[in-house]
């Protein structure tokens, strides 16, 4: 019995050791000017981007085997990083995990298939794309934030003055404190959850074909809201001043439209689903 256990442990030890040996770390530095462009493409693995303290792009890569290498190229103010899969590489051996530091004003394009995409504390444009990639973006200001996923979950937090566009087929989308001139989410079957005050003077369009849409707003919100579910239900716990005229039928339980708060400061909020449920609720929160 003891011998069997020792054999198993030794086997596990060999596997762990060989994995650790196979992993290699690499670090690359690039000097760039203001508003640099940084692109990272990584079929397998995660990419995390944070601000650097100076005008340098620093790339830390953990390569999980010798069947993958990191190709990098700098052309002027633009840096391109790509994981280059060699013969025989698969999702495990071809994995690379990146931690990248960029100047906060850099425009960043991240691409992976099934890892995690993460970006934070930047004020340049951020574009993230991946079929099964889970996306997490927070503390971005004055920038475009574009996300495309198939079934990866998307979480955006504290995006201020953003031009936000999220396209996801079946991944759930969560927005917390996301405001800006345009905030748009289009999903086929994913749930959409918005927590925030809809800013002011922006257009917020949350659409899911069959997913539910939940929006939770504080008392001081000013917004011109319309919600409609073709085959599903709509609920609102917010006192709305009903609109005198709408161009779509306000079937009870399937649609509502009205204004909350001060009209002069209001954003336009459009919530649409075909067969999902829409719920607009008010939450108590100190301003």
Partner 1 sequence: MTCVELQESLAEVEDGTTPEQRAHLRTCPACSALVNDLNLIINAAVGLQEAEEPSPRVWNSIETALKREGLIRPQKRAGSLAHSLFAGWTGRWLAPAAAMLLLSAALLVHNRMQTNTVSEQTAFTVPVPNPSDLNDNDLMQEVAENAPSMQAAYQANLQQVNESIRDAQAVVDESPNDEDARRSLLDAYQQKSMLFELAMDRSLP
Binding stretches for partner 1 (CB under 8 A): 37, 39, 41, 43-44, 69, 71-73, 75, 80, 82-85, 89, 91, 94, 107, 109, 111, 113-114, 125, 127, 129-132, 144, 146, 148-151, 163, 167, 169-170, 186-189, 207, 209-210, 228, 230, 247-248, 272, 274-275
Q: How many CB atoms are located within 10 Å of the residue 245 CB?
A: 5
Q: CB of residue 66 vs partner 1: minimum separation in angstroms?
A: 15
Residue with Cβ nearer partner 1 (62 or 131): 131
Per-residue burial over 31-56, b = 16 or more CB atoms within 10 Å of its CB, e = otherwise: ebeeebbbbbbbbbbbbbbbbbeebe
200: closest CA among 170, 180, 225? 180
Residue with Cβ nearer partner 1 (129 or 236): 129
Q: CB of residue 96 vs partner 1: minimum separation in angstroms?
A: 12
Q: CB of residue 287 vs partner 1: minimum separation in angstroms?
A: 32
Q: Which two tokens stand for residue 168?
A: 């996801």
Strand order from edge to edge, sheet including 173-178: 24-31, 56-63, 96-102, 47-51, 116-122, 134-141, 154-160, 173-178, 192-195, 213-218, 278-283, 234-236
Residue with Cβ nearer partner 1 (166 or 260): 166
Torsion of CA 131, 133, 138, 144, to 10 degrees: -20
DSSP structural state of residue 148: E
254: closest CA among 228, 280, 278, 224? 228
Q: CB of residue 169 vs partner 1: minimum separation in angstroms?
A: 5
Q: CB of residue 58 vs partner 1: minimum separation in angstroms?
A: 18
In angstroms, the CA 132 to CA 170 distance is: 10
Residue with Cβ nearer partner 1 (94 or 258): 94
Residue with Cβ nearer partner 1 (167 or 197): 167
Residue with Cβ nearer partner 1 (220 or 248): 248
Residue with Cβ nearer partner 1 (178 or 257): 257
In angstroms, the CA 178 to CA 186 distance is: 15
Q: CB of residue 246 vs partner 1: minimum separation in angstroms?
A: 11
Q: CB of residue 152 vs partner 1: minimum separation in angstroms?
A: 10
51: closest CA among 138, 111, 129? 138
Question: H or E segment at 17?
Answer: helix 2-22
């Amino acid at each position: 019995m003891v011998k069997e256990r020792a054999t198993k442990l030794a086997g596990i030890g060999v596997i762990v050791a060989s994995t650790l040996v196979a992993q290699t770390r690499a670090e690359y530095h690039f000097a760039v000017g203001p508003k640099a462009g940084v692109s990272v493409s990584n079929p397998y693995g995660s990419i995390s981007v944070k601000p650097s303290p100076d005008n340098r792009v620093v790339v830390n890569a953990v390569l999980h085997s010798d069947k993958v290498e990191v190709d990098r190229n700098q052309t002027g103010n633009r840096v391109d990083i790509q994981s280059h899969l060699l013969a025989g590489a698969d999702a495990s051996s071809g994995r690379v995990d990146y931690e990248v530091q960029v100047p906060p004003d850099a425009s960043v394009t991240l691409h992976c298939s099934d890892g995690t995409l993460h970006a934070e504390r930047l004020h340049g444009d951020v574009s993230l794309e991946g079929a099964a990639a889970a996306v997490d973006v927070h503390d971005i200001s004055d920038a475009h934030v574009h996300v495309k996923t198939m079934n990866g979950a998307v979480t955006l937090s504290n995006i201020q003055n953003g031009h936000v566009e999220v396209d996801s087929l079946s991944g759930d989308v969560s927005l917390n404190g996301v405001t800006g001139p345009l905030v748009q989410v289009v999903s086929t079957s994913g749930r959409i959850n918005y927590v925030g005050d809809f800013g002011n003077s922006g257009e917020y369009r949350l659409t899911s074909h069959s997913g539910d849409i939940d929006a939770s707003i504080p008392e001081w919100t000013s917004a011109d809201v319309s919600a409609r579910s073709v085959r599903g239900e709509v609920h609102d716990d917010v006192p709305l001043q009903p609109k005198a005229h709408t161009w779509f039928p306000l079937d009870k339980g399937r649609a509502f439209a009205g204004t909350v708060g001060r009209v002069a400061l209001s954003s336009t909020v459009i919530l649409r689903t075909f067969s999902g449920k829409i719920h607009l609720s008010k939450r108590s929160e100190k301003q």
